[in-house]
Amino acid sequence: MNRGIFQAAVFSVLIFIIALAPQDSTDTVILGFTPEHSKKQFELEQKFDSYLSPDHLRDRMKRMSSEPNQLGSPHDKKNAEYLISLFKKWGFDAHIEQFKVLFPTPKERVLELVEPTHFKASLHEPALKEDATSSIQKNTLPPYNAYAADGDITADLVYVNQGVPDDYKELEERGISVKGKIVIARYGGSWRGIKPKVAYEHGAIGCILYSDPLDDGYHQGDSYPEGSWRPDEGVQRGSVMDMPIHPGDPLTPGVGATENAHRIPRDSAKVILKIPVLPISYADAQPLLAALKGPVAPPSWRGALPITYHIGPGPAKVHLKVTFNWDMVPLYDVIAKMRGSEEPDQWVIRGNHMDGWVFGAADPLSGNTAMMEEAYAIGQLAKTGWRPKRTIVYCSWDGEEPALLGSTEWVEEHADELQKKAVLYINSDGNSRGFLYVGGSHSLQHFINQVGHSVIDPERHVDVIERLRARRLVNGDKEVANGKDLTIYPLGSGSDYSPFLQHLGIASLNMGYGGEGGGGSYHSRYDSFDHYRRFGDPSFEYGVALSKTAGRAVLRFADADLLPFHYSDMADQVGEYLNQIKKMIGNMRDEAKFQHKLLRDSIYILAADPTKTYNPPKTLSDVPYLNFAPLENAVAHLKNSAASFDSAFSVQMKKGVTLSSAQINALNDALQTAEQELTDKGGLPRRPWFRHQIYAPGFYTGYGVKTLPGVREAIEQRNWNEASKEVGITAEAINRYSQHINEAVSMLR
């Protein structure tokens, strides 16, 4: 502890000097490269860029999206074989790695309103003459939610808004229980799998999900095919597996789902839901919602259908029947390596999935084709004699849609090797016209900002970081006016980085472009080539921009003299997250006190309308003062260690790297595994698969990230003992990380 503080004092002078260094030095020297090597790398990138062509992306997307390509479909396999052939042609050592996974597909789907009137939901997305593939029926999966339970039930309906925990507080205030009922929830506000899980926790026996036109339909813009937005019969499919517990095959948690893997019985798989779930269109939802009576839904619950939104329960009664083929299907990951010339056992891994829900043009092929274009360009570079210093691994994942299956099983199968070799995982998924978005490990923040500064926006011809900064400025974010690096967002879940980052602790990035492509096709039959070429990225230039961005990241990490981590950004962000949590618990304390006063004085009752059923909120537990000192000390140490490292690193780089080659190797080995120190072997409470102590998907948000998740979620759930325990566990992980960085610092001297 004292050593860290001492170092901080010594290095504070240096930090100050660096902070005053001209910004444009970042334009001439690449992080992790000597000035001389930077120049070479810039030249390499120029060459790389020269191979990229939007036409390649367009053609590849058209081909790969010409037939349904979900996990287990014939065309999915064909796409895998197509990609293998490309990788091989481009000089990669490529193979298909096969797994066997549980993938339920629908057998029967029935939804009807049986009282007070009869209405049968069509559950069907019709063909559109403006959309060439929309008439293809062969091998397509109809709208459904994967990993819901079989069921055949009839019950009163209750509208639960977005179906998140707070919505059930509103129901309670109105004296409405969902016990024994079927709930209908609109998409939005959380990952979809949270909705049936929370409904089940409250006693519901079935769950209907629908896209409200407020969020995803005519209220957003003209609907397809006139505009891009979801048409009245369009449906969002998707997985509802309880992935906040773990993603991947439900039958092989924690291990690769190889042919002979040990499998648990299906009925003991924790992540398969206990109730039937079905997604529907707003055309199908409107008659159900219109038939509800009971209290009028609160303002924030109301969508854009031309009805009065009521909560129920009833008189609307619905019959819901869904059954599945619980099949084991083969999964084909495409893995392509280009061996590193100097550090073959340091792997830079780049992935994007290839399976869609139907034709998957935007999701995932817009990202997949960009990734393939990188591989193509790297292959062309290799044909000129260039070789990466480190091994580059390109991965086209299968089965992402159902449960991040391809990435998770591969990571679980190769966990030991990856922990030794992986230096970085770079993910992308859907991509469209607009602005760069990047999330990931904050130790990569400076690196990826520098990458972004070297990629030019196809529309506005400034670098993509400056265009993103412009957008944030126009949106009123004055903090970014200082011209410094833009903060990257912390990763929750929703794509294939989860097993790398959150299970193994491999430093990861997730990136793409978007914000100007029209939405509305997500996970529907209309996520097609025709939709994408009109609305997603008509020129495919943002696909090329993604190739440039991720490609540079791959190449720089593959060729860097010293691995380009920058730990002060991580330290600052962890400090910020801790501040958020301390503020949150303070607010919770004030809120509880205030609520107790209102309950004591019957204020809730006095304010309520006596003609309506009303229950005051349940008494909030008192919020104790927790001992945050272990975390506060850990953050202070991390700041010191990070500052020491970043300074020493910068000095070393400016000198042109004066270390011996053995010293360099040892240092890079140390940097490769640093992020893994942020994991805890025991994982997070009740979900040991998630080991990262800084980033996790929220247990009750799904995609939405929770930073310092052990502590934050325990506090949110008012589990004070667990929160205190998690403060210690998280602090230990941060301290290990700081210690690891300190060791790297000593190697830099």
Site for a second copy, rule CB under 8 A: 213, 218-223, 227, 229, 296, 302, 304-308, 434, 459-460, 462, 466-467, 470-471, 473-475, 478, 481, 516, 594, 597-598, 601, 603-607, 609-611
User: Taking the complex as a whole, how short is the minimal distance between the CB of residue 293 and a second copy, in angstroms?
Assistant: 9
Nearer to a second copy, 201 or 590 (CB): 590
User: What number of CA atoms fall less than 13 Å from residue 67's CA on the CB side?
Assistant: 11
Contacts 24+ apart (CB under 8 A), 217-226: 217/282, 217/304, 217/520, 218/304, 219/303, 219/304, 220/519, 220/520, 221/518, 221/520, 223/520, 224/128, 224/131, 224/520, 224/521, 224/526, 224/531, 225/128, 225/130, 225/131
User: Taking the complex as a whole, how short is the minimal distance between the CB of residue 229 and a second copy, in angstroms?
Assistant: 8
Place of tokens 């501040």: 579
User: Taking the complex as a whole, how short is the minimal distance between the CB of residue 52 and a second copy, in angstroms?
Assistant: 21
One DSSP character per residue, 455-516 reads: SB-TTT-SBHHHHHHHHHHHTT-GGGGG--PPPPBPP-SSSTHHIIIIII---EEEEEEEES
SS (H, E, C) 294-349: CCECCHHHCCCCCCCCECCCCCCEEEEEEEEEEEEEEEEEEEEEECCCCEEEEEEE
**Which helix (DSSP H) or strand (DSSP E) does residue 279 occupy?**
strand 277-280
User: Taking the complex as a whole, how short is the minimal distance between the CB of residue 590 and a second copy, in angstroms?
Assistant: 9
DSSP state of 150: P
User: CA-CA-CA-CA torsion for 77, 83, 86, 92, nearest 10 degrees?
Assistant: -110
DSSP state of 362: I
CB 157 within 8 A of CB 184: yes
User: Taking the complex as a whole, how short is the minimal distance between the CB of residue 444 and a second copy, in angstroms?
Assistant: 25
519 token code pair: 């939405």
Nearer to a second copy, 227 or 688 (CB): 227
User: Taking the complex as a whole, how short is the minimal distance between the CB of residue 467 and a second copy, in angstroms?
Assistant: 5
**Which helix (DSSP H) or strand (DSSP E) does residue 737 occupy?**
helix 720-747
From residue 714, alpha-carbon distances to 404, 709, 729 in Å are 26, 8, 13
User: Taking the complex as a whole, how short is the minimal distance between the CB of residue 601 and a second copy, in angstroms?
Assistant: 8
Nearer to a second copy, 231 or 490 (CB): 231
CA 689 – CA 679 distance, rounded (Å): 11
User: Taking the complex as a whole, how short is the minimal distance between the CB of residue 437 and a second copy, in angstroms?
Assistant: 14
User: Taking the complex as a whole, how short is the minimal distance between the CB of residue 273 and a second copy, in angstroms?
Assistant: 32
Nearer to a second copy, 126 or 515 (CB): 515
User: Taking the complex as a whole, how short is the minimal distance between the CB of residue 172 and a second copy, in angstroms?
Assistant: 16
- What are the backbone dihedrals phi and psi of residue 642, each rounded to the nearest 5 degrees, phi first? -65, -45
- Identity of the residue numbered 47: K
Q: Where are the alpha helices (DSSP H) in 394-478?
A: 400-403, 405-413, 415-421, 445-453, 464-474
Q: How many residues does the chain have?
A: 749
CA 734 – CA 706 distance, rounded (Å): 16
Residue 183 neighbours by CB distance under 10 Å: 32
User: Taking the complex as a whole, how short is the minimal distance between the CB of residue 543 and a second copy, in angstroms?
Assistant: 17
User: To 5 degrees, how large is the angle CA 214–CA 523–CA 498?
Assistant: 105
Helix 2-20 to helix 629-654 angle (10° resolution) is 50
Q: Where are the alpha helices (DSSP H) in 534-660?
A: 541-559, 567-600, 603-607, 629-654
Nearer to a second copy, 480 or 642 (CB): 480
User: Taking the complex as a whole, how short is the minimal distance between the CB of residue 443 and a second copy, in angstroms?
Assistant: 29
Nearer to a second copy, 127 or 462 (CB): 462
280 token code pair: 């529907």
Residue 597 neighbours by CB distance under 10 Å: 10
615 by Cβ neighbours in 10 Å (0-12 / 13-18 / 19+) ranks as: middle
User: Taking the complex as a whole, how short is the minimal distance between the CB of residue 54 and a second copy, in angstroms?
Assistant: 16
CA 419 – CA 477 distance, rounded (Å): 38
Look at the alpha carbons of 340, 439, 474, 215 in this order and tell me if their dihedral is positive or negative. Answer: positive
CA 316 – CA 307 distance, rounded (Å): 15
Nearer to a second copy, 132 or 598 (CB): 598
Residue 160 neighbours by CB distance under 10 Å: 29
Nearer to a second copy, 261 or 603 (CB): 603
User: Taking the complex as a whole, how short is the minimal distance between the CB of residue 717 and a second copy, in angstroms?
Assistant: 23
Nearer to a second copy, 150 or 170 (CB): 170
Nearer to a second copy, 460 or 686 (CB): 460
Nearer to a second copy, 327 or 590 (CB): 590
DSSP 3-state assignment of 92?
Answer: coil
CB 146 within 8 A of CB 250: no
CA 282 – CA 535 distance, rounded (Å): 22
Nearer to a second copy, 221 or 330 (CB): 221
Residue 371 neighbours by CB distance under 10 Å: 30
User: Taking the complex as a whole, how short is the minimal distance between the CB of residue 13 and a second copy, in angstroms?
Assistant: 32
Nearer to a second copy, 282 or 649 (CB): 282
Nearer to a second copy, 611 or 658 (CB): 611
DSSP state of 566: -
Gyration radius (Cα) of the chain, Å = 26
Nearer to a second copy, 89 or 484 (CB): 484
User: Taking the complex as a whole, how short is the minimal distance between the CB of residue 589 and a second copy, in angstroms?
Assistant: 14
User: Taking the complex as a whole, how short is the minimal distance between the CB of residue 607 and a second copy, in angstroms?
Assistant: 4
Nearer to a second copy, 153 or 307 (CB): 307
Nearer to a second copy, 322 or 464 (CB): 464
Nearer to a second copy, 76 or 173 (CB): 173
User: Taking the complex as a whole, how short is the minimal distance between the CB of residue 237 and a second copy, in angstroms?
Assistant: 24
